[in-house]
Chains A and B, each alone.
Chain A
């Protein structure tokens, strides 16, 4: 799916048949190198797009007549931030120091970028993992209901819910949750967005559209396995439907579901921008928001590449686990 190239490659990859540790290691190394290249290329791409920005906060501050700087002072300050170099040179310098772990200084707060992101990442990771967990939970409930409820309006409703979840703008969901749960019922604190209640509400906002995507894949996969012979045999043998679903249908449906969980991570990270803004959380999303407003390129660049990095790494892990999860690829268990 999202990692087409990667998946396409996996069909030709060795672990399927021969279960030799060495071949799996080579496969893992290749995949990892490729993921790293993608992250570096993402850095270059975002850098170049941002280089097209018309201004930067330093110049805006310097040119403001209120500040009253002389030309020499302006030149000195611009030089301090490396803004006097041509774009490609700036890219090389910036990429070079980024690879050594130095992401530069924020143009608006002059804090090191690593500090800015380091302060924010914890909150976003908490939000993202909570949201993913909630999303999987909601999707699992919808998936099971879709098999357990007999044909009828209720089942149709369960099957229609994901599309409705996906179509509602998440900012509307968030705003309504705040008004109803916090202002109306006083269930969570708006002043302390890191409190458990507020985090849960924010995670729910993110989880609703994401759960829909997982649920759609899960429902489809469950329907597919229900059509398989072994499932029909199990039902014919008189096993209760719950057991059939849990024992026979869920397991083969796990694989596409895990894949889609990896893919929707991008959505969770992108969606955190709006959710964090609405709930007043200080995370990567609000860092991006603020960096955009202040045209703080180093922070924006690092935050976007960090999100891309998290996405790539998680999907890399899923890809590496793939051969180990697939029941048809049991042979690879020997490689563990």
Chain B
């Protein structure tokens, strides 16, 4: 899913004329931050939010519909779904972070080299990025996870690999933009070394759009990893990564639809919050 190909902060959206000059972030952004805070709390101290055991249930309570005892119902082994969602948060968040880190570090470095050095390096990296972009992102992730073996860590790595090209492209564009700007010319005239210019002038100026992309990619990574888990390239039970919950739940969809809908909604709300924050940051950039 190369969502970012389109959502990536580009000059078009940045100069949108509908800028509302307000100092306080809009209410939707505040809500989004709220969601992220809850999710972080879930991943740091899951035990505080549920008294049910995510791994061991009451078999005789299997397929209980959502209600007072089990807020989101139970699964096929009588385990509390809410407890499983909460306890699966840390792993879901970590794998998305790994994916983003890989895309950011590898892609960022490639883009930086490509944009800064130019010449044949740019040509070689440019070609490689072009090839990576030509393979539909989700297919690429499937191929990589197949080669590495199925579990969530590998799915995270595969997702990261499929995001490398997006980061490389943005970083290259940013470097080129900054490089030609007046103050870099000035620094160069003043005799600054390449490394100095790179670390002092180019990187700091390219950071903001890249961070914004990284946040957006975090949401994309959650979706891709969930998609991989859904197809069965995820973690073993009794792990309860969100994508895995949907994948496990769909077998019982006819009997217990909440097993699919609840974790699906959690994924959607988190991704939506993340992308709202990203676009808010992105808008602020040009002001």
Chain A positions near chain B (C-beta within 8 angstroms): 1-6, 37-39, 41-42, 45-46, 49-50, 52-54, 160, 163-164, 166-172, 175-176, 179, 183, 209, 213, 216-217, 220-221, 223-224, 226-227, 256, 260, 263-264, 266-267, 269-271, 273-274, 277, 288-289, 292, 295, 300, 304, 307-308, 311-312
Which of A167, A274, A300 lies at the interface centre, i.e. has the most chain B CB atoms within 10 A of its CB? A167
Taking the closest CB of chain B, its distance from the CB of A216, in whole angstroms, is 7
CB under 8 Å from chain A, chain B span 249-268: 250, 253-254, 257, 260-261, 264, 267-268
5 closest A-B pairs by beta carbon, nearest first, are A270-B138, A172-B264, A270-B136, A167-B271, A167-B272
Give the shortest distance, in Å, between A259 (CB) and chain B (any CB).
9
The chain B residues found within 8 Å of chain A, CB to CB, are 1-3, 5-8, 10, 12-13, 15-18, 28, 126-140, 142-144, 146-149, 169, 172-173, 219, 223, 226-227, 230-231, 243, 246, 250, 253-254, 257, 260-261, 264, 267-269, 271-272, 275-276, 279
Q: Inside 8 A of A2's CB, which chain B residues have their CB?
A: 2, 5, 133, 169
Q: Say whether A38 contacts B131, CB under 8 Å.
A: yes
> What would be 14 A-B contacts, judged by CB atoms less than 8 Å apart?
A3-B133, A6-B130, A39-B134, A167-B269, A169-B243, A172-B246, A179-B257, A216-B6, A217-B12, A270-B137, A274-B227, A274-B231, A307-B135, A307-B139
Q: Kindly report which residue of chain A lies nearest to residue B173, judged by CB atoms.
A: A4
Q: In the bound complex, do residue A304 and residue B144 qualify as a contact, i.e. CB atoms below 8 Å apart?
A: no
Q: Contacts A171-B250, A172-B246, A217-B12 given; 18 further ones with Cβ under 8 A?
A: A38-B131, A45-B132, A49-B144, A50-B146, A50-B147, A163-B279, A166-B275, A168-B267, A172-B268, A179-B257, A224-B12, A224-B17, A227-B17, A267-B3, A273-B142, A274-B227, A288-B139, A307-B136
Contacts A4-B172, A167-B275, A168-B264 known; A263 to B136 CB distance under 8 Å? no
Q: Are B2 and A267 in contact (CB under 8 A)?
A: yes
Which chain A residues lie closer than 8 Å to B131 at the CB level? 38, 41-42, 45
B135 touches A169 (CB 8 A): no
In the complex, chain A residues whose CB is within 8 Å of the CB of B257 = 179
B268 touches A168 (CB 8 A): yes
Residues of A within 8 A of B148 (CB): 52
| Majority-rule SS of B interface residues | helix
- Alpha-carbon distance A170/B12, docked complex (angstroms): 27
Query: Majority SS of interface residues in chain A?
Result: helix
Between A2, A168, A273, the greatest number of chain B beta carbons within 10 A of the residue's beta carbon is seen for A2
Of the residues B15, B146, B226, B275, contact of A169 by C-beta under 8 Å: B226
Taking a contact as CB atoms under 8 Å apart, the answer to whether B129 and A5 are in contact is yes
A61 CB to nearest B CB, Å: 18
Give A311 to B6 CA distance when docked, in angstroms.
15
Instruction: State the total of A-B contacts with C-beta under 8 angstroms.
Output: 184
Q: In the assembly, what is the distance between CA of A310 and CA of B132, in Å?
A: 14
**Do A4 and B169 touch across chains, with their CB atoms under 8 A apart?**
yes
Q: Which B residues touch A220, using CB under 8 A?
A: 12-13, 16
How many angstroms from the CA of A3 to the CA of B173 in the assembled complex?
A: 12
A54 to B154, CA, bound (A): 14
Partner of B250, one of A41, A175, A224, A289: A175
- Output the residue of B219, B264, B267, B279 with the most chain A CB within 10 A: B264
CB neighbours of B246 from chain A (8 A): 169, 171-172
**Cross-chain contact A1 with B6 (CB below 8 angstroms):** yes
B87: shortest Cβ distance to chain A, in Å? Answer: 20
Name B142's contact: one of A1, A172, A183, A288 (CB within 8 Å): A288
